[in-house]
Structure formats: C-alpha cells, structure tokens
Amino acid sequence: MINKINLPYATVVLLGLIMFSSNFLSPKLFTGEILNFAVWFILSIFAFSCGWIIDKTLGWRYGGKLVFAVIVATSIMSVFLVTFFRGYFGINEYLTENFILFSLRNIMLGVMGIFGLAVAELLAVQKEIEQLKHQTQLNRKIAEDAEREAGIIIREAKSKADAMLVGAERESLELINRKKEIELQLKEFLKTEKELIKKYEAD
C-alpha cells in the first residue's frame, strides 16, 4: 500500500520516468507515421495528466519547481545516456545535434507537464473567482437588506421619538396648566383668608 505522504512525489517520479522513457523511442519519432505520432501523443497526455495531479496535490509553486527540476535532471541524464551508449542509439556523427534532440524530447514532455499544471491552476482560480463573485453578490444583497432594515428601524425609532417628544410636551403643558390653576386657587384662597381676617378684625 502506497503511503499517502509519498503519493504526490510518486506522480513527480512517474513524470520523470515518462520523460526519460522517451529517449528509447525511435529517432524517427516526428516523421509522418501514424504509430509514432500516436505514441508521442499518448506520452504527452500522460505528462499532462501528471502535471494536473501534481497541481492538485503539491500546488502550483512547489509542483512547478519540482517539474522544472525533473526536466533539468532528465535532460542531464539523457545527455549522459546518449554519450555513454552512443552505439545503442545509433549516434555516430553530429553528437551535439543529437544531444539537443534528445534534450528537446524531455523538455517537450516536461512542458506538457507544466501545461497540465497551468490548466489545472487556471481552472481552480476560475472556480475560486466564480465563488468570490457569488460571495460578493451575496454580501451585497445582505448589505442591501441590512441597510433596508436599518432604514426601517431608524424610521420607527424616529417616529417613536417624535411620539415620545409630543407626549412629553403634552405632559409638560398639562403640568404647567395645573400649576397655574393651583397658583390661582392658592391666590384666591389667600385673598379669601385676608378678607375673613379683616372682617373678623372689624367685628
């Protein structure tokens, strides 16, 4: 059973093996034969899939660095392989050109892996943007509802405050009128008392 911690790195190793195995394909890989094109296309799809999985497991930055390191490592290994086993690969002349051609095979498959990384990251970013747009619209709707509710609450509070102010003014007027009535009654009472005292003194 494969350990979950090593699974992302196993995909990177698989991409490296796919790139390195391209060295053992026919040198006439890019000719017009359908079989050669199909083999190259399948290897490209595998490299693309590995890049996709690497993005999902290791992320764009770290996964991209690992894929770049794999491209460099497989290119260097291919150069050494072609140099030491020149007879197996049928290389007698134009050694530099063959180095470039074998390196380009690895680089092309590595670029397909990076392309898989980029497509997976682009789709993830696009999905995140759609979620952010949806969240923004939801937040805007919530803000509008809250603003509407706040306006209703403010209007209700204002009307209640106005009603309380009117009630307080009415009560204060009633108290003032009552005070005046009491003062008037008190003056009349005092006046009556004075008259009674004067009448009592006169008698």
pTM of the model: 0.60
> ∠ CA(173), CA(174), CA(179), 5° rounding?
95
> Distance (Å, rounded) from C-alpha 56 to C-alpha 130?
19
Render pLDDT for 122-157 as a digit per residue (tens, 0 to 9): 998 899 899 999 998 998 998 888 888 888 899 888
Contact 62, 98 (CB under 8 A): no
Average pLDDT, the chain: 80
**What sign does the CA torsion over 177, 179, 185, 191 have?**
negative
Render pLDDT for 11-33 as a digit per residue (tens, 0 to 9): 888 888 888 777 776 555 545 55
